Chains A and B, each alone.
Chain A
Amino acid sequence: MVAAIKRPGWIRGALGAVLGAAFGFGLVVALRKASGLPAFQTEQTGYPQVVVPLISGPLGFLLGFGCFDYWLRWAVGMPTIPEDHSQHGAKSWKDYFRFNTDHKVIGIQYICTTFFFFFIGGLMAMLIRAELAQPGTQIVDAGTYNSLFSTHAVLMIFVFVIPVFAGIANYVLPLMIGAPDMAFPRLNALSFWMLPIAGLLFVGSFLAPGGAFDAGWTGYAPLSTGAPLGQSFFNLGVQFAGASSIATALNFLVTIITMRAPGMTFWRMPLLVWANLSTSLLVVAATPFIAGAQFMVLFDRALHTNFFQFAGGGDVISYQHIFWFYSHPAVYIMMLPGFGIISEVISTHSRKPIFGYRLMALALIGIVVLSYSVWAHHMFVAGMFSWLRVPMMITTLLIAVPTGIKIFSWLGTLYFGKIHTYSTSMLFALAFIVTFTIGGISGVMLGMVPFDIHVSDTYFIVAHIHFVLFGGSVFTIFAGIYHWFPKMTGRMYDEKLGRVHFWGTLVGTWGTFIPMHWIGMDGMPRRVADYAAQFGDWNLLISCFAFFLGAVQLVFLYNMVVSWRFGPKAEANPWRAKSIEWLVSSPPPIFNFDEIPRVVGGPYEFGVPGARHAIMAGEGAEVEAPTPSVVGS
């Protein structure tokens, strides 16, 4: 027992959580007593006796779980434990539930955790659609409805789309650049373990008095500053998700910049690597803004700081500026890694080099730069300084240009190729091009101020966001999961079930989200539990498609679980791709490479006679000097 408590793990983690929470609770009560205040404060925005333990409890868990063991010993001058790699790699399923520093284990931890929250968020979407199937309120009351759509959005954004990309990249990216691991494996593990904490805080807010946070995922002040306790769960969950995100982005940046295999110049990096470089640049600079915004709301709630209290001299609209200065770049954080996945899948399955590789990479950087200058297009009707609308409109429309370059370059890649559509990943990639084009077009329309004035905060917005985030990001996530499933698990998935999942998802997506454009333009506002009877038929149809879309995801779940356990063994390179992760076994050996590979050409040299991307250890002798090519020079 004593040994179990001393050893990092779940028992010590649970003990840490309890001690941490008790410490926070005790601190609040003691300080309040010392100040002559009643021990507990139960105004709806306050509850310091709950809020402080919500910070100290998770920190206690991380400490107990072993996330800080190595650093703490070093920091206090104790002899550090020699690295014996006992925390590295997975020999059984139990190792996935430990503090593990192997990027491949962490990648799978990320993906499984995020899909867990994807299905919880999806169930909430089903409840939302059940309520909206008919006008009037039938299933949940208006307050619960507000909690449901707020939590749905927050789970999908903060603990599904953003981190699942971090998970896929965690697994694939070090392999792709020929690195044995990420630059900071312990930081990587810490990043992951902050994520379930964020998710549990979001879901756990349903237990708070007054219910889960209900001010939307945007949490606009002053609705959020006056909301019940659940809002504080949101404020704190964002801190953990945000810290996780920032640490991972930093890790990716250092890994990409310093750990590429010899010969991998910037212009020889696969586009997935470029995409994660761009995304990480956005995350490190933008995420502190949402962390700040949520701390300011929390302080307004608990400490009466009046950042956003107009009666106390605060400025209401400044919340939106700070929030969107993160949250607009965030939509690119949720899209750029997907662009990278699509480039890998389309090039591989059309047996063609990416068309205009350099422009594709530059388009990513262009999006990064422009995305910092468009945030106020979310605020065209918010009552901000009126003239600001025009420059924000121009930059917003201009950002369609680099996005268009990507669409056209993917199409160009298909021409004169040998297109294979047997893999589900390629089906999702091809459908993504069309679906994302629709989301892009409605995005350009929303960028035009006069039209935006009409449809802002209507179902048109709901349609647009789901076309870009579901038809866009989630399609790319599925493409990526199917593409690297053999590499990650060493097993093949069932393509027949994959096709059922694909066609069901495609029909479900279009059926659910296309009519939302129409009812939005025709006058249905968003975020309402009840609506005018004239929209009843469309909403019933939308709900039916949504239930179908939800049900089809179970096919995916079944396929993944059963194939992981029983699927036929995968060979090293089932898609005959060129990048380095396919040149090692499936799944790769514990430290990825016996010897670091040598990169000798571009990543997509399909059809170039004799061209190689990388030379693995032990095969250097028999390979001739690589043929120079346009890209790999």
Chain B
Amino acid sequence: MYGRLPILKMLAATVAMTAAISAVMLSINWDGQEASTAAPKIDGLLNVMIVLSSLIFSLVVVMLFYALWKFKAKPGDESDGEPIHGNTRLEVAWTMIPTIIVLFCAGYSWKILHDIEKPAKDPMTVDVFSQQYAWSFGYPGKGDVWSQGEMHVPLDRQIQFKMHSQDVIHSFWVPQWRIKKDNVPGITTTAIVTPDKLGTYELICTELCGFGHASMRAKVVVEEPADFRKWVASLEEKVPQPYKESILQDTNTNPLPENEGGA
């Protein structure tokens, strides 16, 4: 009975629509500026998803509108359609093909996740302290100097952010880096970022933390290593004692991926 359907034409329409939607959507930079090594990988994943999503969407739309055009009842027609109860081969197809597609998506995502979280040999650690409604930053490798509301990091060096919240949950997000991680009271969480573009960015709190949530922002500066060293040297304050204690009290229940393979 499916011989009666113009399968090839419908497929052609689906492919054409997929190509048109993908062409438009791929030409737009959805996620904004890329400023870390993770960003192009995540945006690449988005692009693959744009093509796959356009395909699924186009298939549904073509199937729906062809049916509406071809099988719409004429006015006054009170007869029933054909008593087709199903088609096992078709049903197996639309179970198996999506399964393969989503398993591909899962495998591809897993690989990218592995790539963007791979620890480097000589990462720099930055302690991130969050509290209602302010950010501050400690540099444990640089004599524990402390900066409030402004963080500088060197270009092209992997940074491991160790996050410590003093009160409720906050979340660390620099959109241009594409990396986000909650700051959870009582535990230390980790995020890995390798900034690869000079510039000034905004650190945004993305976990609801109270009435000041929308204004809980900090300035992030990515600069040349020499400038960074100068900036760190200019910092006079040390990380306050209560913050140091909060690091020691944290349980490390969110270790780096490579440390938990045998766990």
Q: Please list the residues of chain A having a beta carbon within 8 angstroms of any beta carbon in chain B.
A: 141-143, 146, 214-216, 220, 222-223, 226, 310-311, 314-317, 350-359, 381-387, 389-390, 393-394, 397-398, 400-401, 404-405, 407-409, 411-412, 414-421, 430, 433-434, 437-438, 441, 444-445, 448-451, 453-454, 456-458, 518, 521-523, 525-532, 576, 605-608, 611, 629-631
Contacts and interface: CB of A to CB of B under 8 A. Distances in A.
B213 A401 contact: no
A409 B86 CA distance: 8
Given A416-B71, A419-B73, A430-B64, A607 B85 contact: no
Interface string B83-97: 111110011001100
B206 A397 contact: no
B214 A528 contact: yes
Contact of B253 (A357, A385, A434): A385
Contacts of A444: 49, 53, 102, 105
Contacts of B94: 404-405, 408
Contacts of A359: 86, 91, 95
Contacts, number: 277
B187 A381 contact: no
A386 B181 CA distance: 11
7 contacts: A317-B187, A405-B95, A408-B94, A430-B64, A454-B42, A454-B175, A523-B175
A222 B64 contact: no
A450 B41 contact: yes
B61 interface: yes
Interface string B73-114: 100011111111111001100110011001101100110110
For the complex of A and B, list the 8 residue pairs with the smallest distance between their C-beta atoms, beginning with the closest: A310-B186, A417-B81, A528-B214, A523-B175, A607-B80, A383-B189, A414-B67, A418-B73
B61 A419 contact: no
Q: Chain B contact residues (Cβ within 8 angstroms of A): what range?
A: 35 or more
B32 to A, nearest CB: 5
A364 to B, nearest CB: 14
A156 B112 CA distance: 37
Q: Which of A412, A416, A526, A530 has the most CB of B within 10 A?
A: A416
Contacts of B253: 317, 383, 385
A386 B81 contact: no
Given A222-B168, A353-B83, A434 B60 contact: yes
A454 B38 CA distance: 10
B71 A381 contact: no
B226 interface: no
Contacts of A226: 168
B11 to A, nearest CB: 15
A49 to B, nearest CB: 26
Interface in B169-187: 169, 171, 173, 175, 178-187
Given A412-B86, A430-B68, A523-B175, 19 more contacts: A214-B211, A352-B80, A352-B82, A356-B86, A386-B117, A386-B260, A397-B106, A401-B98, A404-B56, A416-B71, A448-B105, A451-B49, A454-B31, A456-B206, A522-B30, A523-B32, A606-B83, A611-B83, A631-B85
